[in-house]
Structures are given as structure tokens and as C-alpha cells.
Structure 1
Amino acid sequence: MMRTPALVMDLSVVEAAYRRFTTAMPSIAVHYAMKCNPHQDILTTLRSLGCRFEIASAPELDQLLALGVDPATVLYSNPIKPAAHIRDAYYGGVRSFAFDSLDEAAKLAALAPGSNVIVRLAALTTPSGVPSEGKFGVDPDTAVRLLAQARSLGLCPFGVTFHVGSQMLVPEAWRPPLVAVRRMMHQLADMGIFLQMVDLGGGFPAPYGAKPPPLERYAAVIENGLAGLPYPVRAVVEPGRALVAEAGTLTATVIGTAIRSGKRWIHLDAGAFNGFMESLETGNELRFPVSDSRGSAVRDRFQLTGPTCDSQDTILFDVELSADLSTGDLVHLGTAGAYTTAYASTFNGFEVPTVRCVSGSRLIEATVD
């Protein structure tokens, strides 16, 4: 019998997603945002395809170095970093760091002298499916000033980055930040600073319920914005969710059922705290595709909730499943390859999902944590 909760990752789906990016955006380098699922087999698969990587901490770099990834190709895109992480990443070979404050520039100058710095531009324009912006980024004028100050500290003002928000379903969201980048490049050129890179960030969506716009629409907006820049620069994207989410199916066991206020509740051994934290982040709006082991023709609506005593621990409301679903049955949640195991904790003593990797129908490994 399958031990649950369990996440199955199909690496052939990861490969297909990566190839969609390189086909739709052939002139743009893809750096996987490994924070959304740092499983070793995913990293190995993407590395074998020529994908590059983006990190948010020095321990993430350690994972990549153990796989033989060239640190010179890694982007350290977290704008605020612990001093020890900067030092370790620099000695590990990383030379490209994001920042959005003078304090961070001073830390980089002291601990990563001469490095390429990439200023984080705020991109608060269009609401995304998983709101994530507001913590980082500055306005264009401040960004220009920070790059000039970084130069005076002995750093190389290398580029500008922005993030339009996770699970962005509006391709046009990339247009306003690229217009701002164009203005910045003109201002910087007057100061003798010429950028070498524009990092377009992540935010590319995965199919939760409704199918998102085709990647080609995003590519068209981005290519148009890049074409409007005053001189050519290297362009990169940092997809995470769009590369791995659809590859994952998380299976949970029904541990109990109840009827409360006329509604049917299904309690699973996986919930918001040990696999589906994004349910809380999105107000239960992220619609994971759901099926069950019964597969009955007669259907009913359920509230799908987790195992802990926390009243917020609910994954989805009003989900259609087999009407005769009962304790011991299995529920399968699709598009679960991103931000599930990466966020999972043992809150209330409940186990995090095991991970099993396959490629099509071929088993890659049995079970790892």
C-alpha cells in the first residue's frame, strides 16, 4: 500500500516544460528558480538540458556545486542576503548578485568585491494569482541612483531585474517594467553606465484549473519590450512554477469524513502545513486538479481539508469527488510539483510528503525525503 502523503514527479514533464521555454524564447537564457522545488533529480535533469539556475541562499548553491554546476552561471537573486551567505557564495564562485538598497551594496562591496550587481526594480502593476510582490524592489530613479552608488563602491553595475508576481496570467504585465528599464538605460548611459543584462524574473504560470495563456504570448510581449531598449543586452528569465508544477501529483489518504452545517468535509493526511501552504497564501483560490481512487460516476461536493488542528488548514472548498468517498480512500492533487514539499513542515507532528521521481512510466528512484 502506498505510504502517503506522497509526491510523484514526472521528469519527462519537467523536460517538456523546459523545452517549451527554449522554443518560445530562444534568445533568452533560462535560470530555474530552485526554491520552488530543489529536489536533486529535478536539478540534475534541468542541468543535463542546459538550464542554468537562480538561488536565494548559500545552501542552495551548495546543492548545485555538488552536482557540478558552474557557479559563474548562477544568479543570486535574493536582494537582501545574510553576510555569511554572501561570503560563502562569493568564495564558491558566484559573481552576480541582486540588491535593492545601499546597505546591501555596501555588504557586497565588502564581501564580494568587484562582483556584478543587478538592481531590483519594483513591478507593482498587475495582480497575480499568487501575490508575492511588495517586499522587494525600488522605483526607477532610485534604481539608477543605486547602480551609480554601487559603481562608486567598486562593484560592476551589471543589470536590472524585476518580478511581476507569481502565477501571472496576464502576459502584458511584463510591458510596463520593460518601459521603465528603457528609461533607466537612457539615464544610466548619460552617466557612462551601460547595462549588460535584464533579468525578467519569474511569474510564468502553471495550469491550476483554467488553462493559462500560451507561453508564446508572454514571449511576444517580452521580445517586443526588449526590442525597444536603446541597445542590446543579455536577457534571462527565472521560471520555477512553470517548469515543475505540472510534473507533480501529490497523493493523500482520507483519514476521516464529517458533515458540518450541511457540507461534507474530507480530511486528508496532507494539508496546508505539510504540502499545500499556497492554499493559505491564495485564500484557497489556487485550484489544484483533484481526482480520487474511487472514480465513481455519482459525484458530490466536498470541503478538502488537512490533518492538523489548525482551523485554517484547508486546501480547497467545493470540490467535486466521488460521492461514496470514505476513510482509507486516496485523493490525487495535480499540478503539485511547485512549493509543496519545499514549504512542507511537520507542524502538529504530521509527516511531510515523500518524493518519488519517474520519467514517463520509468521509475527513477523509490522514496526520498
Structure 2
Amino acid sequence: MAIDKGQFTDVTAVAKALQPSYPVYCVRPEVLAGSAKRFISQFPGTVLYAVKCNPHPLVLNALYQGGLRHFDTASLAEIAQISDAYSDAHTYFMHPVKGRAVIKSAFKVYGVRHFVVDHIDELNKVVEEVGASGNTIIVRVNTPPADDALYHLAAKFGAGPGEAAELMKAAAGRGASVGLAFHVGSQCRSPEAYGTALDILGDVIRKAGVEPACIDVGGGFPAAYGDRPVPALDTFMAAIRDGLKRLKLSPTVEIFSEPGRALVAHGCSLLTQVQLRKDDRLYINDGIYGSLSEMSQVAIRLPARLIRLAGPVSDKLGEFVLNGPTCDSLDVLPGTFALPEDVREGDWIEIDQVGAYSNALATRFNGFYPETFVQVFDAPPALAVA
């Protein structure tokens, strides 16, 4: 497991104390706990944190301190991690495709009672392994993804509305409680997408003639990256509330959501070091095979600032390309970063808003692996500027 070097007032204190030649994740527990409290207070139901987004214990502990007790888990390893860490936590098996042995272990060892399916064979598999009575089968419906989402998550999973209605009837006929779920896509900036998806769920419910036990509006809630402004969180909540009203559900129906990025993106930054400068190209000790792989896949521009412990720093900025540490020529971050024009070897660069899909996606390619985590208590650069 990753190294915990302790707690620091701010990121500059980290650089002074550790003089790190290795990447350092700077986790801000107060920001994470605040994000959890804010989301829980606004969402009209139960909030499940999507563990895949960032499963590091420091992150999970901060969210737990913020009041989170429910977790969207997609594997037995995630279920075990949450169950072993928090005795009062609830885990939900939200992956639509699961191995038989994994289903049985999740049920018998960890007490999981919610299972997502999107195909009749998966429904049969779950019922054959753990039975139907006492379990909730959540049918994932394929709904239109938001046009401006970073990732469209409907291509791989989700049953069409007609098939979903048949799955609801089949699950209910076998004695299971039945729910419905959807996902509008990651980093969705369209509150209306949730209302559209909920209207589709209304059609599924009417076709099935089955009262759902729960409705899961999924994830996709966005983080406010600097170059991609997003609507306020309460705008999304209003769209969800309006969509739920149109469904005319019983008051006993549980409402779930699965935020990930919106909870953790601002809660962690990355301290990297410049190891070489070639004109406007900087070679740093982390890259797309480590903490920053998402930047190579989607158009996210992360803020960055220079940290130098001794000597003045130029007020004039230049645009620099950041190169990762591996020997692969693909290990180059897209776009450029605005940094002082006199940036040099030995300087540190703090890259902000890396709480989501950073350490969770890091590889050990070429022997480089970011694994040092500390806690800091200053404001994230992006929020401090805002």
C-alpha cells in the first residue's frame, strides 16, 4: 500500500520537508469531507460514492468523515476494502457483469444485497447463486448519454427500455425486489440529461407494471475544471427532483446516486518535480502512465503552479509542454501549461484537481509508480483562485 508521510499545512511545506524527487499526492481531507457533506445535504436520497474514482484510504476516510456510509462498488476487492474498513458501511454491487464465485462471496461474506443486471443471463446467474428473496435486482437501462459528457457510458452496458421492462417482470416474478438505474456519462454538464433519463425509466415502469423498490440516477455529476465551467450542483438536483415527481413514485421507493468525480476532483493535487528543461519542454516525474492518464483520453485542462524554495520566480509566464518520465514518446501531456518563464530543473510543479481517476489508473510501466500520499490543509489552487 502507498506510503503515508504525514500531515502538512500546505504543499510548499511538503516540498520543504520532503524535498521529493518522486511524485506526491497531496490529499485535502477537509475539502473532501466538505464535498461529501454538501452532496449528501442536497441529494434527495442516498449517496453512494463510486469507489473506482479514487479508492485510496485517505480519500475514503475523509468522505466517511463527511458522512458517507454507502458505496458503489464494482468488484469483490472494492467490496472487501470498504467492508473491512467501515463496519457500518453498505456496499452495492453495481457492475452489470459478475463472476459466479464473486456474486456468492459478495453475498455470503460481505452481506451484499443489491446487484445490478442488464441481461437475462446475468439475472439468472445472480438468482441461481444467491436466490431472489431478500435481494434487490437493479436493472440498468440504456439511456441517451449527454452530448457534452467526457465519457459516454451507454455503449458497453444497459438494456433497452423494452428489454429492461422484461427484466423487471422476470426479477419480480422470481421474488426479488426490483430497481432501475442509468448513467448519463462521466462529467455530464447537462442537468436536463437526468430528467430525460428519468422519463425513460417512467416508460419502463409502465411497460413492466412493476413498482420499483429503488431508482438509481447513477453518476456523471461534474467537477468544475477551469476550462469547462459547469452548472451549479443544485441545478442538477432540481432536474432530478422534477424528474422524480413526474414518475409519481411511492414514498417508500429509495433514491440512489453514485457520484465520484464531483466529490473528489478538488480534493487532491499532485506535486511533481522538473528533472530537465529543453527550451519549452519540461521533463517531470509523473505522466500519462501514472497519475495523469485521463488527460491523454479526454479534454481536461488542469491548473498548475510553480513551487521554488529558494530565489525569486519570474512574473512573466510561458507556455510549456510537460513530458512524463517513461521512455515512451507517447508519455506527453496534451496542450501546454502556463508557468513562470524561468522554470528550471529542481523546481516543483503542483498540478491541481487530480482527485478523480489519477492514482486509481496509475500503472507501473517502466518502473515508475506514484505511491506517496500526504495530507495538506490549505485551499486547493483552483478554488483559491476562484
Q: TM-score, normalised by structure 2?
A: 0.86
Contiguous gaps of at least 5 residues in structure 2: 1-18, 380-386
| Mapped partners of 1:352, 1:318: distance in 2 | 22
Paired position in structure 2 for 1:197 = 214
Aligned to 1:304, what secondary structure does the other structure show?
Answer: strand
Question: What does residue 337 of structure 2 align with?
Answer: 319
TM-superposed deviation, 1:281: 1.8
1:281 is aligned to 297
Aligned residue number for residue 139 of structure 1: 160
Aligned pairs for 1:68-217 within 5 A? 68-70=86-88, 73-91=90-108, 92-114=110-132, 115-133=135-153, 134-152=155-173, 154=174, 156-189=176-209, 193-210=210-227, 211-217=229-235
One-letter amino acid of the structure 1 residue matched with residue 45 of structure 2? I
Counterpart Cα distance in 2 of 1:318 and 1:254 = 15
- Cα deviation for residue 300 of structure 1 reads 0.6
Q: Would the alpha carbon gap of residues 79 and 162 (structure 1) be closer, same or farther in structure 2, given more than 3 Å must change?
A: same
For 1:127 and 1:266, how far apart are their aligned partners in 2? 35
Distance in 1 (alpha carbons) for counterparts of 2:372 and 2:150 = 25
CA contact (8 A) 1:47 1:69 kept: no
Question: 2:320 maps to which residue?
Answer: 302
Question: How many Å apart are 1:129 and its aligned residue?
Answer: 4.2
> Quick one: distance in 1 between partners of 2:140 and 2:370?
34
Alpha-carbon distance between aligned partners in 1 of 2:369 and 2:99, rounded to the nearest angstrom: 30
Cα distance change on mapping 1:45 and 1:301 into 2, 3 Å: closer
Counterpart CA distance in 2 for 1:307 and 1:278 is 16
User: How far off is 1:255 after superposition?
Assistant: 1.7
Aligned match for 1:42, one of 56, 59, 62:
59
Aligned to 2:354: 336
CA distance in 1: counterparts of 2:360 and 2:29, whole angstroms: 17
2:258 pairs, out of 219, 230, 238, with: 238
> Which letter maps to 1:150?
A
Deviation, structure 1 residue 70: 4.0
Following TM superposition, by how much is the alpha carbon of 1:333 offset from its aligned partner in structure 2, in angstroms? 0.7
Q: Work out whether residues 83 and 91 of structure 2, in 8 Å CA contact, stay in contact via their aligned partners in 1.
A: no
Q: Distance in 1 between matches of 2:268 and 2:216?
A: 27
Q: C-alpha offsets along residues 239-298 of structure 1, whole Å, 9 cap, x if unaligned?
A: 011111101010111122224xxxx2112110011111111221xx21111111145301
Say if 1:288 and 1:69 are closer, same or farther in 2 by CA, change over 3 A. farther
> 2 CA distance for matches of 1:111 and 1:90?
9
Aligned partner of 1:61 in structure 2 is: 79
1:250 aligned to 260, 266, 270, which one? Answer: 270
The answer as to whether partners of 2:23 and 2:286 remain within 8 angstroms in 1 is yes
SS of 1:286's equivalent in the other structure is: coil
In 2, the alpha carbon distance for the partners of 1:301 and 1:359 equals 29
SS, match of residue 48 in structure 2: strand
SS of 1:53 mapped into structure 2? strand
1:62/1:252 CA distance change after superposition, 3 Å: same
Aligned residues: 349
Identity %: 32
- Residue 207 of structure 1 contacts residue 335 of structure 1 at CA under 8 Å; is this kept in 2? no
Q: Are residue 292 (structure 1) and residue 310 (structure 2) matched?
A: no
Q: Secondary structure at the match of 2:360?
A: coil
Return the offset for 1:180: 0.4
User: What letter is aligned with 2:281?
Assistant: W
Q: Which stretch of structure 1 is more off in the superposition, 40-49 or 171-180?
A: 40-49
1:15 is aligned to: 33
Superposition pairs of residues 255-274 of structure 1, within 5 angstroms: 255-259=275-279, 264-274=280-290
- Rate the CA distance shift 1:45–1:333 in 2: closer, same or farther, 3 A: same
Q: CA RMSD in A?
A: 1.8
Kept after mapping to 2: 8 A contact 1:178/1:225: yes
Q: Which residue of 2 aligns with 1:364?
A: none
The more displaced of 107-116 and 310-319 is 310-319
Offset from partner CA, 1:148-194 (integer Å, 9 cap, x none)? 22334x351421111111111111111211000111122222xxx21
